Amino acid sequence: MTTFYDCPPRVLKIHSDLLLALSLLFANGGEKLPQTLSPLAKSCSTIADHYKLETLLLAIETLTYFSKGERDEHLLMTYEFNRLFVGPTTPEAPPYESVYLSPDHLVMGKQTLAVRKIYMQENLQSEGQGHEPDDFIATELEFAAYLLNRIMESQVAKNDIQIQHYKTRYRQFWTQHPSLWLGVFAQRIRQSTHHPVFSAVSEVLDTLTTLNAH
């Protein structure tokens, strides 16, 4: 069965762009939503056009609309982002793998160390190491994009050994980590949010997991 990472670089790039746009949204936080919603909407639009995904159209429309909202709307989105993902009270949808997969549902579980080990195999280290768990959604998505970019670079160089190496690494990373919790995370967002922009984000996350399942 052909997977998207067996495709030419142009297809890998639209997947990588979506991963990075989602990563930036979570990494930059609620105050930067006006800057991060627009690139996410653009990446979603490209993905939707390529795969003919009518199910994403409402999400794209929502993300685009709220990227142009007034200051009061931006404040509401910032508040909702923090309520869902940050605090100060216990977040409704913590953006960390360990919360969903560890027995005690707390951050810094064995999943955190497992993804750190995978990053280290590529001689990489999370920018937030020391104050942000390595299984933070933004870091995992950025790393997945990094692996896709390495596949693209290897394709351009016609290095078949490297192509296969990074395809294998991407498949293993995705199936052992993001695929196990992003769907549950998206569901938690959808059930907890009071703002349509985050319902749209949950739809994008669901689309991402679906595309990676093929």
- Into how many domains does the chain fold? 1
pLDDT at 49 over 90: yes
Domain of 195: which CATH number?
1.10.3480.10
Q: Are 189 and 205 in contact (CB under 8 A)?
A: yes
How confident is the model at residue 121, as a pLDDT?
Answer: 94
Give me the amino acid identity at 62: T
Domain that residue 157 falls in: 4-212
Question: What's the whole-number mean pLDDT along residues 26-43?
Answer: 96
Please tell me the predicted confidence (pLDDT) of residue 127. Answer: 75
Q: Does residue 153 register a pLDDT over 70?
A: yes
Q: Give the tens place of pLDDT for each residue, 70-111.
A: 889 999 999 999 999 999 899 999 999 999 998 888 888 899
Q: What is the mean pLDDT of residues 179-186?
A: 97
Token couple for 46: 């490209």
Contact yes or no for 98/111 (Cβ under 8 A): yes
Using H for helix, E for strand and C for coil, what is the string for 86-125?
HCCCCCCCCCEHHHHHCCCCCCCCHHHHHHHHHHHHCCCC
CA distance readout (Å), 180 to 99, 101, 172: 12, 8, 12
Asked if residue 34 has a cis previous peptide bond (ω within 30° of 0), the answer is no
pLDDT value, residue 129: 65
Which amino acid is it at 122?
Answer: E
**pLDDT at 2 > cutoff 80:** no
Q: Tell me, what's the pLDDT at 130? A: 65
Lowest mean pLDDT among 130-144, 174-188, 195-209: 130-144
**Cα–chain-centroid distance for residue 206?**
10
Residue at 198: amino acid letter: F
Model confidence at 125, in pLDDT bands (50, 70, 90)? confident
H-type alpha helices, 29-109: 33-51, 57-67, 71-81, 97-101
Instruction: Give the pLDDT of residue 100.
Output: 95
pTM above 0.85, yes or no: yes
CA neighbours within 13 Å on the CB side: how many for 174?
A: 24
Q: Using a pLDDT cut of 90, give the percent of the chain over it.
A: 83
pLDDT of residue 95: 98
β-sheet bridge partners, residue 96: 136
pLDDT band, very low/low/confident/very high, at 30 (cuts 50, 70, 90) = very high
What pLDDT, on the 0 to 100 scale, is given for residue 104? 82
Both tokens of 178, joined, read: 């993001």
Q: What is the mean pLDDT of the chain?
A: 94
* Residue 177 near residue 115 (C-beta atoms within 8 A): yes
pLDDT score recorded for residue 4: 85
**By C-alpha distance, which of 41, 44, 48 is closest to 68?**
41
Residue with tokens 């896709």: 148
The mean per-residue pLDDT over the stretch 177-181 comes to 97
